[in-house]
Amino acid sequence: MEDQSHLLPYARRSDFHVGRATELTGKRYVIYRIFEILPGLASWSTLIGVILMSIYLPFIAAYFIIAFALFWVLKTGFLSYHLRYNWKRLQHHIKLDWEALVAPMDYKDLYQVVILPFYTEPESVIEATLASLGNTKYDKSKLIVVLASEERAGEYAQQVLATMTAKWGNVFGAFLTTVHPMNVPGEMAGKGSNAAYAAEQVRVKILDPQGISYAKTLVSIFDIDTVLYPDYFNCLVWHFIKAENPLKSSFQPVPIFNNNMWEAPALARVVAMSSTFWEMVQQERPERMATFSSHSVSFQALYEVGYWQKNMVSEDSRIYWNLMLANDGKYDVIPLSYPVSMDANAAPTLWRTIVQIYKQHRRWTYGVENFCYILYHFLNQPKIPRRTRLKIALQQAEGYWSLVTNPIMLFILGWAPIFLGSAEFHQTVLSYNLPIVVRDLLILAMFGLVISSIISLSLIPPRPSDKSRLRYIVMALQWFLVPATMIFFSAIPGLDSQTRLMFGRYMGFWVTPKVRS
């Protein structure tokens, strides 16, 4: 049996790394299954409820829709306030000389492990990521870079490892290449299993032989298209040292999906930047944050929970919940408000871009599997205060529910009472005023997009010489696509994910293809 002595007590539970209900039996299975059904049931009930209410109680439905539209306006304003604030902070952090800030600190014995899992992404993408690592203002001898490949990627991956080792093998303190074996029982092919394997290889092959302390090692897991800003590690070190509980904290940069912003179509740009904005908003309310995409954490913390989960899709967020539960709720995410650049999801053709974005967002919104996990463990983890558990559960529930239902209710079902209501309703002033009031409120909410437009223009890379200045106008106006993108790349993939989970049709990990000219 695997040694579990290094794990925190709660992490030793057999169900600590549960990925889905089918991995459990008996009463535990039933409870977990109920939690898997819950999000989809709530979302579908809401949407069908609005339709039924429009038919049978059109007046109540109209009042509800007006109140909801007003709520949406205020919510947009509230989130825009956070976004604008984080934008200012982000700009400030980019300008700060973090090297000078950390210079007085004692961090010379701190090591940075960078795990870069990849599958079949082009060499140029991997090359750019390693080049950005090489350009960071940090002592390269303290950088341990792990290029983590998949055995199932075959010959191509081996060739990439050889090429990159030849070029970058001597640039960093250590350059480790790993090959995650395929078809390991109990594992799902995906980033989580690859990264966990790579982390263990680092421990066995580098940390332990060289006697490097786990507590003095920070692990950053980056998507393979992540391009670092020069001061990333200095910023990370500053926050790590200043953190109240550095070993009980994860560190979250702002993923800006702008590497290929000048090549990506408008649709991809809006969706990508919307994801960035959501993370920027979350940076200003860290109590609601879970780690997302690229992030950093101490090796000590990772080791105490057995690394990333290997049997599920959204390992990037799950690791936070693993850490939070295992540490009895005493675990934080610290927002860095410092960017890392990644690729907007774009393919060679518009249709393939649309399909890719849909699939990527379905994978992201499949993060709802974490909601089941949280609820299940909240029933079993009494050391976390009940009030905290309740608050987190409600926050997460509202998040997954509103993600799916809000855009559909606003932009489609808001008109339902007019089309489905009774003749009695149709002759009322309320029936005629409903679309006018909702339309006006949504126009008001669209002013939030002006802020989005301004901020997005400030986050794009410099204009390549072959791109027209007119593109700036297009980039400013592209935000009118938001209502459509909210429905087709947020609500519908979210509903898709929740429905799959509800019916036990579990998803696998879909790797987003990376294309960069």
Q: Which of residues 248-267 bind another protein (CB under 8 A)?
A: 249
Strands 227-228 and 332-341: antiparallel
Would you say 364 and 278 are in contact if contact means Cβ atoms under 8 Å apart? no
User: 286 vs 508, which CB is nearer to another protein?
Assistant: 286
> What is the Cα–Cα distance from 218 to 233, expressed in whole angstroms?
10
Provide the sign of the torsion angle of the four alpha carbons 309, 488, 485, 394, taken in this order: negative
CB of 300 to another protein, least distance (A): 17
437 binds another protein (CB under 8 A): yes
CB closer to another protein, 12 vs 242: 242
One character per residue 206-235, x = contact with another protein (rule: CB under 8 A): ------------------------------
Does 329 sit near another protein (CB under 8 A)? no
**Which element (helix H / strand E) includes 213?**
none
Contact predicate 346/515, CB 8 Å: yes
Residues in the chain: 517
Q: Is 279 in the site for another protein (CB under 8 A)?
A: no
- CB within 8 Å of 302: residues ≥ 6 apart: 199, 219, 308, 319
Position 71 contacts another protein (CB under 8 A): yes
Applying CB under 8 A, what is the total number of residues that bind another protein?
A: 47
Nearest C-alpha neighbor of 197 from the set 294, 300, 305, 309: 309
**295 and 316 in contact (C-beta within 8 Å)?**
yes
Applying CB under 8 A, does 330 fall inside the site for another protein? Answer: no
Q: Is 66 in the site for another protein (CB under 8 A)?
A: yes
Q: Which is nearer to another protein, 77 or 122 (CB)?
A: 77
Closer CB to another protein, residue 423 or residue 470? Answer: 423
Interface positions, 286-325, toward another protein (CB under 8 A): 286
Position 284 contacts another protein (CB under 8 A):
yes
Closest CB 448 distance from another protein, rounded Å: 13
**Distance separating alpha carbons of residues 163 and 161, to the nearest angstrom:** 6
428 binds another protein (CB under 8 A): yes
CA distance 503 to 40: 9
Residue 363 in the binding site for another protein (CB under 8 A): no
- Is 84 or 359 the residue whose CB approaches another protein more closely? 84
Is 358 a binding residue for another protein by CB under 8 A? The answer is: no
Q: Are 58 and 420 in contact (CB under 8 A)?
A: yes
Based on the shown chain and the rule CB under 8 A, indicate whether residue 70 belongs to the binding site for another protein: yes
Stretch that binds another protein, among 255-263, 307-315, 418-426, 462-470 (CB under 8 A): 418-426
Stretch that binds another protein, among 26-34, 199-207, 364-372, 422-430 (CB under 8 A): 422-430
Cβ neighbours of 379 (radius 10 Å): 13
Nearer to another protein, 417 or 493 (CB): 417
Rank residues 357 and 409 by Cβ distance to another protein and give the closer one: 409
Report CA-CA distances (Å) from 326 to 105, 186, 331, 383: 30, 21, 9, 10
Residue 429 C-beta: closest distance to another protein, Å:
4
Q: Quick one: 70 or 171, whose CB is closer to another protein?
A: 70
Q: How far is the CB of 437 from another protein (least distance, A)?
A: 5
DSSP class of 463: P
- Regarding 52 and contact with another protein (CB under 8 A), the answer is no
Q: What element of type H or E holds 417?
A: helix 416-420
Q: Are 393 and 374 in contact (CB under 8 A)?
A: yes
Q: Does 57 sit near another protein (CB under 8 A)? A: no
- 430 contributes a contact to another protein by CB under 8 A: yes
Residue range at the interface with another protein (CB under 8 A); choices 71-79, 124-132, 270-278, 472-480: 71-79
Q: Please tell me whether residue 74 binds another protein under the rule CB under 8 A.
A: yes
Which C-beta is closer to another protein: that of 81 or that of 358?
A: 81
Q: What is the CA radius of gyration of the chain?
A: 24
Residue 88's CB is within 10 A of a number of other CB atoms, namely 12
Query: Using CA atoms, how far apart are residues 308 and 220, in angstroms rounded to an integer?
Result: 12
Q: Which of 217, 413, 351, 198 is nearest to 296 (CA)?
A: 217
Closest CA to 60 of 49, 70, 71: 49
Alpha helices in 57-148 (DSSP H): 58-95, 98-102, 123-134
CA atoms of 237 and 82, how far apart (whole Å): 25
Choose one: 158-166, 226-234, 329-337, 370-378; the region binding another protein (CB under 8 A).
Answer: 329-337
Residue with tokens 């800006």: 256
CA 379 vs. chain centroid, Å, equals: 25
Q: What track of x and - describes contact with another protein for positions 98 through 127 (by CB under 8 A)?
A: ---x--------------------------
Of 103, 109, 242, 450, which lies in the binding site for another protein, with binding defined by CB under 8 A?
Answer: 242
Contact residues toward another protein (CB under 8 A) are 62-63, 66-67, 70-71, 74, 77-78, 81-82, 85-86, 88-89, 92-93, 96, 101, 239, 242-245, 249, 283-286, 332, 334-335, 337, 422-424, 427-437
